[in-house]
Amino acid sequence: MRSLSMAILAGGLLAGAAGGAMAQEMASAVPAPKNDFVVFAERGSALSPTAAATVRTAATEATGARQVTLVGRPENIAPVKKELIRHGVAPQAIVVQQEARAPIPQPADGLSDPIDRRVEIRF
């Protein structure tokens, strides 16, 4: 009976070790999660204090990222890119994907649709 218990114990340890190796192998096969941030430029393509804080957070989290992609309108991307660089993101790591759209309409109330002021930060 004792040898049977030892065999079960040894088998369990071996299975556990193999299972751990398998779990590590599976974890390395799964790509790391991507980080996405969205900020909205204000009138005149400025960043609000909240948007600037979000960009600073993104810059901190993007430390060491090989690529940081900005998606949006050129006039809105410029202040976001400047803020990222100011907070440590390497300029050569920043890739810009401009959205090709019609000019931002200016409604009577002087405010534009937030979707037209959106900049996505992906890494």
Element (H, E) at 85: helix 74-86
**Is 61 exposed, middle or buried (CB count within 10 Å of its CB: 0-12, 13-18, 19+)?**
middle
> Which of the two residues, 26 and 57, has the higher pLDDT score?
57
Over residues 68-81, the mean pLDDT reads 93
Query: How much of the chain, in percent, has pLDDT values that exceed 70?
Result: 62
Output the pLDDT for position 11. 46
- pLDDT 10s digits, 9-41: 444 444 455 555 555 555 555 555 578 999 998
121 Cβ contact list (under 8 Å, min separation 6): 35, 36, 37, 38, 39, 55, 58, 62, 68, 69, 70, 80, 84
Measuring CA to CA, which residue among 63, 68, 75 is closest to residue 118? Answer: 75
Output the pLDDT for position 41. 87
Q: Which residue matches tokens 């900049």?
A: 119
Does residue 114 register a pLDDT over 50?
A: yes
Query: Cβ(98)–Cβ(35) under 8 Å?
Result: no
Output the pLDDT for position 64. 85
**Confidence bin at 63 (pLDDT 50/70/90):** confident
